Structure 1
Amino acid sequence: MTSAGTARRLWALAEPYHALTYFSDESRAAGEAAGLSGFWSTYFALRAAPLGPVGPAVVTASFYNFAPAFVARRVPAVWDAATPRAALEARSAGVDAAVRRVLGEWAASPEAAEAAGLARRAAEAVDAPGRPLAAANAALPLPDEPHLALWQAVTTLREHRGDGHNAALLEREVSGPAAHVLVAAAGRVDREWLQKARGWDDDAWSAATDGLTARGWLDDDGGLSAEGLAMTTAIEADTDRLALGPWRALGDAGCDRLGELLVPVRRAVVTAGLFPDRNPIGVAPDAA
């Protein structure tokens, strides 16, 4: 039977390919061509575009771990610069250009087509209730080009996983800033980078730290306590479990084959420097 570990491994393998839309020069250029200015305006417009021209409250709720004021500085202003349709076109154009530069002839290869077919089967099995970003991405038509169809399918699957992760956090009453405090306490990403990348100020960080300390999840030095380690482990286990449905639908053989096909793709993206080691996504460049 397909295991929760399979869901984690395939996420780790596919995430750098999805993240081309954040970290490649081509995606930033496509955003600028659509009228978007700066990394974060491009990020919010391209990632939120499947939801339509939503306001900051919906984006903050759906993305879960960004400070509301950080979101509100870009949303809804991004929709004045580029409509959701234009943002969707920009993210596709950016990924297309980045893939053709980094992976060259692979984009039109039988391997790309096979990977797209497998990822599509999994994405079609996504369970949408309670998962707004997964549902919005699943509703988009898949492009004809295999490398873009693969990107859209793995994006639907990663947003499905992310929606489930948010549910696991919510179930344990872990707020957005508290989730980042736990990540920093575990030594996965440093506090300064997380605060900068998600917009939480020192007061919010301190309040989250105090709350976790009161719950017994942090020790006197600010690291994870035994209980904190157990709870973060449980959250990650629930995230894997909640992400498993589409991979079960694909089956063991399909998951294994997709993993094989994604290994060289992941390696090419990481080798090209398009998946920085200091990022808040949570997948290390040398994972999987």
Structure 2
Amino acid sequence: MWRHFEPVHAVTYFHPRARAAYEAVGLRGYWRGYFAGRAAPLGSVDAPTVVAAFFGFAPSMVARVLPSVWRLAAPEEALRARLTGAVQALAELTYELPEAHLVEAAELLEAAAGQIETAGRVLGAANAALSRGEYPLARLWQAATTLREHRGDGHVAALVTTGLDPVEVLAWRCRVDQSREFHRMARGWTDEEWVAAEGRLIEGGWLTADRTPTEQGTATFRAVEEATDRAALGPWRALGAERTARLDELLEPISGRCRTIIPPQAPIGLPAQRAASEGAPASAR
């Protein structure tokens, strides 16, 4: 289900209409829109709060945007902009699908999102508390976003149990199947910070001397992914097997269209579409 609702959420990061909606309220530059839009459900928070909740970003990168971004657009404006842009993006991507298809998908996804456990899930809870959208695509996107952040909160909690810091997590993952330079820059870490993190991973037995993941590291991160999935199961147990299967069927063409605008290299952890049935780690989120 994550492989379906994550692309729906991700239009807010990658579609030109989403970018334009942020720029229309004064959030020029990709990262202003990203941090303001994603953090806005929390209110006018400062950089340390976002560093903690988002987990993977270098504090210096976040501090360049927050809290100064709230002088450009208040959280309420950022929320309106992100929903407007997301709805416009989804309208463009799904115009060939029947309205009844979109309405049913929105209703089922909302039903799942309405069953999340919010305790300990800061971003999931903040998004769940937002007003329900007026139109089907608004409801679809907001439900996907709530489920996405709920799952992400659980993922961060699982990562914390490893004892690794954010740059160490990213450095380890990039020795498995991701681009070191892309993720280092996308999350704002300096080369020196990254090299130091790899050194700590070698000392701790997570990487070998030639920077290959060890059996210990691989087993631990497999356990992190399994814990992430377990922590995200509640909404789907509540929805039930029959309705979840129906939602899977409804979301497939929607998420497929959304995937077309996600760059081949993007730091959101989605597996390539051809491998979607096989699953993949999400630790780069």
Instruction: Normalising by structure 1, report the TM-score.
Output: 0.93
- The equivalent residue for 1:280 is 267
* Bigger shift: residues 153-162 or 261-270: 261-270
- The equivalent residue for 2:283 is none
State the SS of the aligned residue for 1:19: helix
CA distance in 2, matches of 1:254, 1:112: 15
- Matching residue's letter, 1:262: L
Does the 8 A contact of 1:16 with 1:266 survive in 2?
A: yes
CA distance in 1, matches of 2:64, 2:11: 24
- The equivalent residue for 1:87 is 78
* Offset of residue 178 of structure 1: 1.0
* Aligned 1:50-129 pairs, distance under 5 A: 50-106=41-97, 109-129=99-119
Residues 182-211 of structure 1, C-alpha deviations (whole Å, 9 max, x = no match): 210111x20100011100112221222122
- Matching residue's letter, 1:246: P
CA distance in 1, matches of 2:221, 2:38: 26
CA distance in 2, matches of 1:128, 1:60: 20
State the aligned residue count. Answer: 275
* Offset of residue 141 of structure 1: 1.1
- Matching residue's letter, 1:129: A
Structure 2 residue 247 is matched with structure 1 residue 247:
no
- The equivalent residue for 2:138 is 148
CA distance in 1, matches of 2:89, 2:43: 25
- The equivalent residue for 2:122 is 132
- Matching residue's letter, 1:195: R
* Aligned 1:225-236 pairs, distance under 5 A: 225-236=214-225
Does the 8 A contact of 2:87 with 2:141 survive in 1?
A: no
Does the 8 A contact of 2:91 with 2:137 survive in 1?
A: no
State the SS of the aligned residue for 1:217: coil
CA distance in 2, matches of 1:250, 1:160: 16
CA distance in 1, matches of 2:172, 2:121: 23
- The equivalent residue for 2:199 is 210
Q: Where do 4+ consecutive residues of structure 1 move more than 6 Å?
A: none
- Matching residue's letter, 1:235: V
- The equivalent residue for 1:175 is 165
Name structure 1 gaps, 5 residues minimum.
1-9
Of 7, 12, 23, the match for 2:14: 23
Higher relative contact order (CA 8 A, sep 6+): 1
Does the 8 A contact of 1:277 with 1:284 survive in 2?
A: no
Structure 2 residue 199 is matched with structure 1 residue 223:
no
CA distance in 2, matches of 1:270, 1:165: 22
Report the RMSD for the aligned CA atoms in angstroms: 1.1
CA distance in 2, matches of 1:80, 1:105: 39
Name structure 2 gaps, 5 residues minimum.
278-285
- The equivalent residue for 2:252 is 263
